[in-house]
């Protein structure tokens, strides 16, 4: 017998999302690749067709990861005028390490939040005469 969504315990989106787990049961995998969503949960059978995080993860990573690390690189350049090797060996890896590892947990959190809050595509409602 398959349970409906209301029969599963409500899981916190941030707990299951950042671990890449199913937002309904918390056991199945959410991703089939680094950022590619699996078609569904292998544990409870939930289809991930509802999930559409779009550019949300990239936006948050740019704001909270990329911008501060780029500001650091610009500050270092203006203040110390280091050689190009400083940026090759320090600035570029810093930007990479502050952006890429955050994408997957943020995408998982956004997908789990969509499930938790029953988010749907916006619809225009017409007036009834």
Where exactly are the structural domains of the chain? 5-116
Q: Average model confidence (pLDDT) for the chain?
A: 91
Determine the pLDDT at residue 48. Answer: 95
Indicate if the pLDDT at residue 127 is higher than 60.
yes
Determine the pLDDT at residue 4. Answer: 66
Q: CB within 8 A of 108, min separation 6: which ones?
A: 16, 17, 18, 19, 20, 21, 30, 31
Determine the pLDDT at residue 60. Answer: 93
Contact 22, 3 (CB under 8 A): no
Name the nearest CA neighbour of 88 among 98, 96, 80, 79: 96
Determine the pLDDT at residue 3. Answer: 65
Determine the pLDDT at residue 7. Answer: 82
- Three-class SS string for the chain? CCCCHHHCCCCCHHHHHHCCECCCCCCCECECCCCCECCECCCCCCEHHHCCCCCHHHHHHHHHHHHHHHHHHHHHHHHHCCCHHHHHHHHHHHHHHHHHHHHHHHHHHHHHHHHHCCCCCCCCCCCCC
Indicate if the pLDDT at residue 26 is higher than 90.
yes
């Amino acid at each position: 017998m398959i349970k409906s969504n209301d029969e599963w315990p409500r899981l916190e989106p941030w707990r299951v999302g950042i671990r890449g787990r199913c937002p309904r049961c918390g056991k199945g995998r959410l991703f089939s690749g680094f950022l590619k969503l699996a078609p569904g949960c292998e544990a409870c059978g939930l289809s991930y067709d509802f999930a559409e995080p779009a550019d949300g993860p990239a936006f948050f990573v740019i704001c909270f990861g990329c911008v501060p690390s780029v500001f650091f690189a610009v500050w270092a350049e203006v203040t110390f005028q280091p050689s190009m090797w400083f940026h090759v060996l320090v600035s570029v890896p810093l930007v990479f390490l502050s952006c890429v590892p955050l994408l997957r947990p943020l995408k998982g959190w956004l997908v789990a939040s969509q499930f938790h809050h029953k988010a749907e595509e916006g619809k225009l409602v017409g007036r009834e005469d």
